[in-house]
Amino acid sequence: MVEIYSDKEKIIMRQRNWRMVIGGFMLLVLALGFSFFMLSIASISTDPAELMRIVGGASGTVGGVSIVLILVGLIGKKS
Tens digit of pLDDT for each residue in 3-47? 555 555 666 678 899 999 999 999 999 999 999 999 999 989 999
Start-to-end CA distance of the chain, whole Å, equals: 7
Q: Enumerate the domain spans of the chain.
A: 16-78
Residues 60-69 pLDDT 10s: 999 999 999 9
The predicted pLDDT at position 10 comes to 63
Beta bridge partners of 4: 11
List of residues 6+ apart from 74 with CB closer than 8 A: 16, 21
User: Global pTM?
Assistant: 0.76
Angle at 10 between CA 17 and CA 69, to 5 degrees: 20
- The residue with greater pLDDT, 31 or 79, is 31
- Output the pLDDT for position 47: 93
